[in-house]
Amino acid sequence: MSHNTPLISTVVVGLVLAFILGTLAHRIRVSPLVGYLMAGVLMGPFTPGYVANQNIANELAEIGIILLMFGVGLHFSMKDLLSVRKIAIPGAVVQITVATLLGMGLGHLLGWPIGGGLVFGLALSVASTVVLLRALQERRLVDSERGRIAVGWLIVEDLAMVLTLVLLPALAGILNGEAGQGADLSAIAMPVLVTLGKVAAFVVFMLVVGRRVIPWLLHYVAHTGSRELFRLAVFAISLGVAFGAAILFDVSFALGAFFAGMILSESELSQRAASETLPLRDAFAVLFFVSVGMLVDPAIVLREPLPLLATVLIIIFGKSIAAFGIVRLFGYPTSTALTISASLAQIGEFSFILVSLGVSLALLPDRGRDLVLAGAIISIMLNPMFFALLDRFLAKDDAKVAAKATADKAVPRVPLPETQLSNHVVLIGHGRVGKVVSAALRQSGTSVLVIEDSPGLVEQLHKDGVEVLLGNAAAPDMLQAANVAGARGLLVAIPDAFEGGQIVAKARALSATLPIIARAHSEEEIAHLKHHGANVVIMGEQEIAKAMIAQIGTGAVATA
């Protein structure tokens, strides 16, 4: 049966196994990523039992990359990208060079020809988009300066890899030929120029045509009022542009999707577009890790322990020390340098593509590919650990900074710094309801702390000098960081009563006496929120009705 449905069985077995092992990993306090990778190893050809279709798994992973990069583009404007170019371009170039040289050195020790070492080194030099973005998103860092630098860096690496993939076949002859004398320069120069020309043509096309057509299309669909069509439009645009970019301009899927998102980021519909892609994006990102796991032969750990160790050390330390040095050299603080280093201390999808190309061009021995694959899985597994160390370091740093810092601090980090406020009002959501409430409270001199998960609104609140935490109030540690237990009251002003219920229950667990007022739209929601511990629940529709009755009672309608 499963032979006839390789796509379905790959998706289903992949997701189910990833779910089981991811949950187990979480249970034993390891990153779920490790579980997803293990699911891949179990489904791969090197372990007994079911073997999934690798090509299908790779393509599914590619969809994950497209949706992720589209999401990043939605938070990124052209201005953001240009603002980090001064560090991202030289940073990425130097770091790629250092890592490549280290890889070539190791290749030399292992007795490979120079071409093999070059492919090996390049494969070690480029970080995985998915791993990097997942780490930044988990820590809500994408919108911070450090996050922007890391993403800009990633884009430069991506471009460098697009160039490498095009150049490698042209260079293979020269690298394989012993002397390489008499190499025709135009054989190298032409592909470079053509590729750069195509990338430039794509960017110009997107800025001139895409910038007009895509937002217009999305606005048009939004006005039809059909949620389904809007959702479809978002997927059609992200996947369509990525695919079109790859077919027509030979640009990577990731780069195409990033530009599609970036063009939409100026539209006020970008937030909605981002939330529409979230669930699918997460599912496909999981399949990405499964597909990586499938490539790896676990026996290599016993077969080649020392070369593998050296490979892992280059990925983890070689690259990150180089990146750290460059970022510091540009005058950025240690925290920024460490975040970039931790982000880059892993390799992923581009490395796989590169090594398979290297092997097929007879540049790289099979052994080199196996080392890169195993190095990838180990570095991806270790990556969350580096971020945990970074968090610990930054927490200490934060404590020092907090003493003199004012409220205009950037996006909060994990672990969240706890507020100094007490006897304040904690307000969840700063939309139509929350902003009216907070204005009135502030006017009356009450101190307010807002929790809001829309970055745009949080930025505005920062500017207005309001203390605010960015993120989902239902997320762990959020309510503690807002010192709900020491507050005089909690106002849950978000429209989703299910999420509201989770928040209320968490707050009630922190304090039995805290007055909690929540927002609802139906009788069932009122019951739900009260059941979880809300003292008072206000139903918007009832209040609208009361106000309407009051209006007609005053005779306002007759005189209007």
Question: Residue numbers of the site for ligand AMP (CB under 6 A)?
Answer: 428-434, 451-454, 457, 472-474, 493-496, 499
Identify which of residues 304 and 467 has a Cβ nearer to ligand AMP in the complex.
Answer: 467
> Strand 467-470's sheet: what is its strand order?
467-470, 448-452, 425-428, 489-492, 516-520, 536-539
Cβ distance to ligand AMP smaller for residue 370 or 452: 452
β-strand partners of 461: none
Question: 338 vs 504, which CB is nearer to ligand AMP?
Answer: 504
CB of 500 to ligand AMP, least distance (A): 8
Contact 268, 35 (CB under 8 A): no
d(C-alpha 60, C-alpha 66), whole Å: 10
| Smallest separation (angstroms) from ligand AMP to the CB of 255 | 30
- Each residue of 351-361: b (16+ CB within 10 Å) or e? bbbbbbbbbeb
Shortest spacing between CB 217 and ligand AMP, in angstroms: 25
- In this complex, which beta carbon is closest to ligand AMP, that of residue 417 or of residue 429? 429
The residue at minimum Cβ distance from ligand AMP is 431
Q: Is 210 or 501 the residue whose CB approaches ligand AMP more closely?
A: 501
Tell me if residue 269 falls in helix, strand or coil. Answer: coil
75: exposed, middle or buried (Cβ count in 10 Å: 0-12, 13-18, 19+): buried
Q: Which residue has the tokens 């077919």?
A: 247
Rounded to whole angstroms, how far apart are CA atoms 341 and 349?
18
Instruction: Provide the token pair at 204.
Output: 């110009």
How many other C-beta atoms are found inside a 10 Å radius of the C-beta of residue 182? Answer: 7
Closest listed residue to residue 218, CA positions, set 202, 245, 244, 241: 241
How far apart are the C-alpha atoms of 294 and 155, rounded to whole Å? 26
Specify the residue, 180 or 279, whose C-beta has the smaller distance to ligand AMP: 279
Q: Is 260 helix (H, G, I), strand (E, B) or coil?
A: helix
- Choice between 377 and 492, CB closer to ligand AMP: 492
Q: Can you tell me the distance from the alpha carbon of 73 to that of 397, in angstroms, rounded to the nearest whole number?
A: 30
Which residues share a beta bridge with 425? 448, 489
CB of 550 to ligand AMP, least distance (A): 22
Which of 123, 494 has the CB closer to ligand AMP?
494
Report in angstroms how near the CB of residue 274 gets to ligand AMP at its nearest. 12
Determine the distance from the C-alpha atom of residue 251 to the mean position of all C-alpha atoms in its chain, rounded to a whole number: 21
Least spacing, CB of residue 458 vs ligand AMP, in Å: 9
- The least distance separating ligand AMP from the CB of residue 469, rounded to whole angstroms, comes to 9
290 and 241 Cβ atoms separated by less than 8 Å = no
- Residue 268 phi/psi, 5° resolution? -70, -10
Q: Closest separation between CB of residue 450 and ligand AMP, Å?
A: 9
* Residue nearer to ligand AMP on the CB measure, 227 or 392: 227
Which H/E stretch holds residue 452? strand 448-452
User: φ and ψ at 539, to 5 degrees?
Assistant: -100, 120
Q: Provide the minimum distance between the beta carbon of 479 and ligand AMP in the complex, in angstroms, as a whole number.
A: 10
